[in-house]
Amino acid sequence: MFLEPGQRGQRSGWIEVICGSMFSGKTEELIRRLKRARIAGQRVAVYKPFIDDRYATDEVVSHDANKLVSIAIDSSRALLNVPEDTQVIGIDEAQFFDPELPTIVQNLALRGMRIIIAGLDLDYRGEPFGPMPALLAVSEYITKVHAICPHCGNLATHSYRLSQESDQVLVGERDRYEPRCRVCYAMGNILALKPS
Ligand code: ZN
């Protein structure tokens, strides 16, 4: 489990990334960290890309309905307008943001803020997703969480798309994706007709 680093010396910010496949508990972990900061009386702001409208547009909601109020923004530049006294910034679904996000969050960390980012590291094709590789490179702390492969029980690192659409961005639920380990992902639709 991730433990917050102690504050040493003068005030300085840092970047944390929580990554993994779909159904790996990324948003749960993001919410856990943000709620603990809020309970400690820290000023917290939560953002997500406007594209993710599968649930209420003003909330970060995990698959098991744990939730936090959030602000939907359509560009990472909007983060620069965060109130200056903000201490902790949460960002969910970071894979959908523009390539400027790593630069923006580094700017915010230099201003003393703690940035906690959750996102899919791989898209459904198994390719690094959007700004996530660069975010992983510039962050101080990385937590990779895993789902469990429903076919073999190993740790799942990939998000297998059950439907045929080829857009990289296809916001969906359990009927459109399933988490898979590397081997079961590579087996493709041979395994797609599992009994449910
Ligand atoms: Zn498997």
Å from CA of 108 to ligand 1 middle: 39
**Which residue did the predictor score with more confidence, 185 or 193?**
185
What pLDDT, on a 0 to 100 scale, did the predictor assign at position 161? 92
Among the listed residues 16, 29, 93, 178, the single catalytic one is 93
Tokens at residue 39, please?
């309970």
Question: Considering only 39-53, 99-113, 177-191, which range has the smallest mean pLDDT?
Answer: 39-53
Catalytic residue list contains 93: yes
In angstroms, what is the span from residue 65 Cα to ligand 1's centroid?
26
Specify the pTM: 0.88
119/121 Cα distance (integer angstroms): 6
Residue 139 CB coordination number (10 Å): 22
Q: Are 151 and 180 in contact (CB under 8 A)?
A: yes
User: Lowest mean pLDDT: which of 44-53, 103-112, 117-126?
Assistant: 44-53
Domains and CATH numbers, the chain: 14-145 (3.40.50.300)
